[in-house]
Amino acid sequence: MIICLEGVDGAGKSTLAAALIKEINTQHPDDIVTYLHAAQLDTSVYEAYHEPLKDYVPGSGQHFILDRWHLGEEIYGPLYRKQSAFTRASFTWIEMFLGSIGTRLWNVTQPQEVLESRLLERGEDFLQNEHVDFVRKAFIEQAKESSLFAGNLVPNLDNVYELAEHLILDAEFAEMRAKGIRDIGLTSYIGHTFSDPRTLLVVDNKAINHGFHPEQSQDAKLVYESLRDEFVKDFAVVSSRSKTKLEKFLSQLYVTGIIAYDESVSKRLDEMEIKHVKFDAPDSDDARFATKISVAAYEAGK
């Protein structure tokens, strides 16, 4: 399972993380629990937020507790470095990657006066006092917009283990869902797994499309940059050479709309008698790309 704790400094993420590790070790003594803390970004967003988790396999007996991860860059980057290191495409892809492995994200928060008191007590030298309430509110808003968002938490010494048990149950369900997709053999899937995606883009099974990564595929970059906000949270991508795997995958999901990303994929879906909308990938300089891909997503969901 993967549990991501986001939130303002001093909210109690580390305390909750310690309780989670202790509880998982108690419940699953033979499993491996790894604690990761995202520090200030000094590399690419892919190296920081994808590389440490890229080999994780849901259901393998390995678990990760993330003490802040990618949301912090969206808040602290603009605040202290004038801009986030994320582009729209890279942020969307990281969220979809995290969703595909069953990550659940919780925002940990506290009242402003509690935060200021804790930060003063521990001699905080990063988050400036005048920014505490801004960052607290920014995490609440940013987390709410995440496709991984599970809820807000206000931990204290009386409820921390009760919260830990709740988060573990939630993460176990997410892990089970992610494992179900992985067990079909479709390691190319990128998107949410906690619930069924609303819109599924089926792409050709070329090596460059495996995982539909925006750094490796210009088409992927265009899609993630262009897709309208109302589709991003419930959007997923898959490629498969195997008709059997693809059929099994689609039979297990309730997908509102399917988009075939070129003629060959459309023909394959026609053979499988799967309703879809065909989308011919335009040139990268097509000024109407954003409109076209969103129209396709809308039409597929009708």
Closest Cα partner for 12 from 199, 130, 125, 139? 139
Say if CB 277 and CB 235 are below 8 A apart.
Answer: no
Percent of the chain with pLDDT strictly greater than 70: 97
Chain-centroid distance, C-alpha 103:
7
pTM of the model: 0.93
* Distance, CA of 95 to CA of 92 (rounded, Å): 5
Q: For residue 50, what are the β-bridge partners?
A: none
Instruction: List pLDDT tens digits, range 213-247.
Output: 999 888 899 889 888 887 888 899 998 777 888 88
Which pLDDT value is given to residue 273?
86
Residue with tokens 């604690």: 35
86 pLDDT higher than 70:
yes
Structural domains of the chain sorted by starting position, each given as residue range(s) with its CATH number in brackets = 2-183 (3.40.50.300), 185-300 (3.40.50)
The count of other CB atoms within 10 Å of the CB of residue 178 is 25
- When computed from its CA atoms, the radius of gyration of the chain, rounded to whole angstroms, is 20
Whether 300 has a pLDDT exceeding 90, the answer reads: no
- Please, which pLDDT band fits residue 124 given cuts at 50, 70 and 90? low
